[in-house]
Amino acid sequence: MEVQTQQKNGATVVAVTGRLDAVTAPDLEKTLAGLVDQNQLKIILNMTGLSYISSAGLRCVLSTSKKLGAKRGKLILTGVMGMVKEVFQMAGLYDLLTIFSTDEEALKGG
């Protein structure tokens, strides 16, 4: 799994690629927690390159979302598609999270 962070228009875009499972989730968790601690309150998580997400990955996303919410920040997901989308839908989380198709839309809208 690879994580790439970028600053864009006042938001932090975190692009994650590969597998997000119990082995790799802690790394992403650390990166995201770091951003939250630095008060990067608008985080866009780009999941275009993600091939698989497990419940551990879901948990990481949810945890970040809750943390940001507590600080009045926002977690926006983009590029949620394929199997990853199915998992979110299955867990009933798809409708509860802020999801956009592309980063641009997220930057504009969120």
Non-local CB neighbours of 46 within 8 Å, separated by 6+ positions: 13, 14, 15, 16, 78, 79, 103
CB atoms within 10 A of CB 69: 11
3-state helix, strand, coil in the chain (%, to 5): 40, 35, 25
Minimum gap (Å) between residue 18 Cβ and another protein: 11
Q: Which of 4, 49, 91, 108 binds another protein (CB under 8 A)?
A: 91
| Candidate segments 3-11, 59-67, 72-80, 99-107, binder of another protein by CB under 8 A | 59-67
Q: Does 21 bind another protein (CB under 8 A)?
A: yes
Q: Which is nearer to another protein, 81 or 90 (CB)?
A: 90
33 binds another protein per the rule CB under 8 A: no
Least distance in angstroms from the C-beta of 9 to another protein: 28
Q: Which tokens go with 70? A: 């507590």
Shortest Å distance, C-beta 97 to another protein? 9
DSSP 64-75: HHHHHHHTT-EE
Q: How far apart are CA 38 and CA 77, in angstroms?
A: 20
Binding site for another protein (CB under 8 A): 21-22, 52, 54-56, 58-59, 62-63, 65-66, 87, 90-93, 95-96
